Amino acid sequence: MKKLLIPSSLLLLTACASTAPTLPDGLAALTNPSTLSCRFTKQSDADPKTPATNWYFWRQAQRTETRDERSNQGEIWQKIKGEQFFYTRLFYNEQVALDFMPSDLAAIGNKVSWSQLTSLVDPDSLGKTLALQNKATVNGMAVESYSGTINGVGTEVDWLPALKLPARLVKKQTQGTLSLTLAECSPTPQQAVKPISETELNAMRHLDYTDLGDMETDPMAQHLEQLMGDHHHDHH
């Protein structure tokens, strides 16, 4: 079984903004940043014919979840203790959940901090790898703009310190630019798309990552590896 690269878009997206961004209303009223339900607008110029779509992010104290409208895939990260996590990749079209144990993540070289998972970018890079370029106040919210290079990729971040979340993220590569722009954020899910329920999750077919190597003749296992390979090349 070929080695799959984790994490996906949640961890490897980076951000761009040389001027203060336009922020959605109501952000200043959010008093508990540990629990948020946010919708971002996702845009890629790799294919000009592809319209902008929605990308969802739900943050809780010990759990984060994302859902990509275009691919109809999602991710769940659950913190166990310290820097150990359970990771589940959700494939809604196929109704499959691919489960990774902490040992699986360690075996494939996944090294990510909980602060990065909950903030979409690594807060430790701000002011270090990414240099502070500007500070502004927009709609009552402090916004810090950073820029620099991460892993050879030109990167800029519009950062909301109060929410520990970017207002706009862009990753610039030779094949095109991928961006996320915060469109709305609330304490609880208000959007039509909601986090997956326990009933929905239990109804999916669950596969263990460690079992994929023994499922080379299983069409679904082959299909999932293809999807993850395509997702990696498209977004990272």
Residue the block writes with tokens 């959010």: 30
The superfamily (CATH) of domain 9-235 is: Lipoprotein localisation LolA/LolB/LppX (2.50.20.10)
Q: What is the pLDDT of residue 231?
A: 46
Q: Tell me the pLDDT tens digit for each residue of 132-178.
A: 999 999 999 999 999 888 888 888 899 999 999 999 998 888 788 88
| pLDDT, tens digit, 9 for 90 and up, residues 27-85 | 999 999 999 999 999 998 877 778 899 999 999 999 999 999 999 999 999 999 888 99
Measuring CA to CA, which residue among 207, 235, 204 is closest to residue 219? Answer: 207
Beta strands in 139-235 (DSSP E): 141-150, 153-160, 165-173, 176-186, 205-208
Domain boundaries, the chain: 9-235
